[in-house]
Structure 1
Amino acid sequence: MARLLDETSHWDAWTRRTQVLAAVAAGTDVVQAWRAEQPDSLPATVMHTRVAVERAVRAHRAGHPRTRELWQEAWAACRDAAEHAPDDPVPWVCLLALAALDERQRMEEHRHRPPAPMLPPGPWGLLAEAEKRDPYNREAHHRMLQFFSTRRSGASPGPLSEAVNYAQWAAGSAPTGSALHALPLYVRVERYRRERGHERALDLHWVAEDALREAQRALDTWFLFCATDEASLLDLNHLAHALFGALRFADAARVFEALGPYYTVLPWAYRTGRPDDRALAEDVFLRARSRCLDH
């Protein structure tokens, strides 16, 4: 871990690698051991923050009784890392990840005024800090989207209109080649999931005019300009999924070719009646890929 992070020079790769490493390390004491051996190591401090946040998020998802305690520990770790690594966007990205736990926006830092009309109050100050260090940071914007998608209205998450507006705003302000152009695809998948679209015999969700427009924009302004070998597998899968659903098989084939032998369970799992069944998701992916590559 230390060697890999020492070789990482760009913020986008740094953000991605620390996130993936934390998902693996959260169930171990390896980062604790690393900090004990090298207490002055900034990468170890950042990884400690990543692991603390990952554990808090997992506890929240599972309804664990220690959620609040882990949340407070993670928040303190984020602030400490931000102080010791002032140029690093990851501590601010981590604070955005924790913001999703504050579903009713009780904390003041999660109720800042938005930068544009039609956007809701939220953790805009945290996003600004991440953006200051790494403009158009992919994970920072996905964390914001997650915040608006899970924000509670009464006893359950509210409508997706806020998430739709946010995704369109972020994609609309992103430069050519930015992965943020894929953000609207995630909102469309979430809407499909909530509406249990897989249960409809005739589903027009993916061939609607706005769905076609979102898929086309992600293709034209992101995929055709990005280094696909460094792109997020989730983003590539969401684009392949959107183009396949829009019956744009030739364009989808280009994305499937870029994916090579790799796939992600989501969003394909939502096309099945049992999203937790990885085998069903894989089967949907393979059939979609075969259909497009044979086109």
Structure 2
Amino acid sequence: MVCTMAFLRALLSSAHTLRYGPGPSSGLPADDAVMLDAPDERLSPALVAAALGDYDPAAKLLATTRDAEDWEARDRTVARLVAFARSRDNWLTGWLAAAPRDPDALLVKAALAVHRAWQSPAHAELLRDVGPLITAAAEADPRDPVPWRLALDHARGTHATHTVFESLWEQAVRRCPHHYGSHVAALRYLSAEWYGSHRECFDFAERAAEDAAGDSLVQALPVRAAFALLRDEEASARANSVQTDRVDAAADLAIRLSAGFPAGDPWPSEVRNLLAYVLVARGRAAEALEQFRLIGPYATSFPWASVTGEALGGFLEARAGVRLRVASSAPLCGRPEHGGLRGH
């Protein structure tokens, strides 16, 4: 049984010399046209302004998501603003000075503090100090589920009990029953890496997907559970046919979700990147190539940074390797017929 990471390294190695752009008939953008974590047309002006120290466009954008109760867009926007503020936060400092009680500024402040705490080996201790910031963000707008998603991430890092976590989960889903970010946070808590197991992850993810609308990003939750299993080398090597079937069913579900969005749409780009990885790991070359076509120029750090060490390079080499395999009509090793996964 070839483990997923060894398999992926072999795939990337085979593609290493093929770093020129795909031909015009491939349906894939050239390598130099691919962008990593590219902002959409709404976020780009806010980031440009923030680079100049102006917080107003970011404030207006987040206020719009709050007024419209567009919690998915709000969560994603906060995450992107936090990623920018990690190294350039003077615009946030100015915003908080001008509007210290602004719900949007408080949310970005709390999210940035959570992110910075998680980056430290002493994250459990640092996260405890962040708790009041999350509480302030939650109280600033009681409708908003995003502070409760932060609270779920906070609880995982501070080793909260299942009882505490469940109480926070209830608060999150009370505000938005199918909020993707909250579901991802819960899935992480339930993972084998933290306080649960692969079985618990799949059970939770599959139930959530069954309850969600067909176009909800929650439909991609099972493929995240599949990714966690594939990343666990020991568990994937021991995987039985039931687990293998669950991984493939998760990929099939995510394929249906992906098909509901236009090609080159940045909104489902992370889901499509994750799905492409899982399909590669399962030896489903043609389907993986189709996801790379649908991704277009929108590569995302997750999952490539966690499996290859260099997100954009990993994406490009995986894409090139899959294209080579499909072009040569050679399977990626074939899908295993009995037991086990092409694990990690």
The TM-score with structure 1 as length reference comes to 0.76
Q: Deviations over 1:207-229 (max 9, x none)?
A: 94333222112222x22234662
Q: Which residue of 1 aligns with 2:217?
A: 179
> Residue 95 of structure 2: which of 34, 41, 45 is its match?
34
C-alpha change, 1:102 and 1:246, in structure 2 (3 Å) is same
Q: Which residue of 1 aligns with 2:231?
A: 193
CA distance in 2, matches of 1:51, 1:265: 18
Q: Deviations over 1:211-269 (max 9, x none)?
A: 3222112222x222346624342211122233344454444343222211232354456
Shift of 1:54: 1.1
2:78 equivalent to 1:24: no
Q: Which residue of 1 aligns with 2:168?
A: 126
Larger Rg: 2
CA distance in 1, matches of 2:171, 2:115: 20
Secondary structure of the 2:119 match is helix
Higher relative contact order (CA 8 A, sep 6+): 2
Shift of 1:41: 2.2
Q: Where do residues 229-240 of structure 1 align in structure 2 (5 Å cutoff)?
A: 229-240=265-276
Secondary structure of the 1:88 match is coil
Maintained 8 Å contact 1:193/1:270? no
CA distance in 2, matches of 1:98, 1:143: 10
> Residue 202 of structure 2: which of 159, 164, 167 is its match?
164
C-alpha change, 1:290 and 1:129, in structure 2 (3 Å) is farther
Maintained 8 Å contact 1:268/1:284? no
C-alpha change, 1:170 and 1:294, in structure 2 (3 Å) is farther
C-alpha change, 1:45 and 1:227, in structure 2 (3 Å) is farther
- The letter for the 1-side match of 2:211 is S
Q: Which residue of 2 aligns with 1:88?
A: 144
Moved more, 275-284 or 90-99: 275-284
Maintained 8 Å contact 1:42/1:84? yes
Maintained 8 Å contact 2:272/2:295? yes
Maintained 8 Å contact 1:250/1:293? no
Q: Which residue of 2 aligns with 1:259?
A: 295
Maintained 8 Å contact 1:52/1:73? no
2:166 equivalent to 1:111: no
Q: Which residue of 2 aligns with 1:224?
A: 259
Q: Which ranges in structure 2 are unaligned for 5 or more consecutive residues?
A: 1-45, 47-55, 330-344
C-alpha change, 1:237 and 1:165, in structure 2 (3 Å) is same
Q: Where do residues 194-213 of structure 1 align in structure 2 (5 Å cutoff)?
A: 194-195=232-233, 208-213=244-249
Query: What fraction of aligned residue pairs are identical, expressed as a percent?
Result: 26
Secondary structure of the 1:285 match is helix
Q: Which residue of 2 aligns with 1:142?
A: 184
Q: Which ranges in structure 1 are unaligned for 5 or more consecutive residues?
A: 113-122
Q: Which residue of 2 aligns with 1:276?
A: 309
CA distance in 1, matches of 2:294, 2:143: 33
Moved more, 238-247 or 180-189: 238-247
CA distance in 1, matches of 2:150, 2:269: 21
Maintained 8 Å contact 1:252/1:292? no
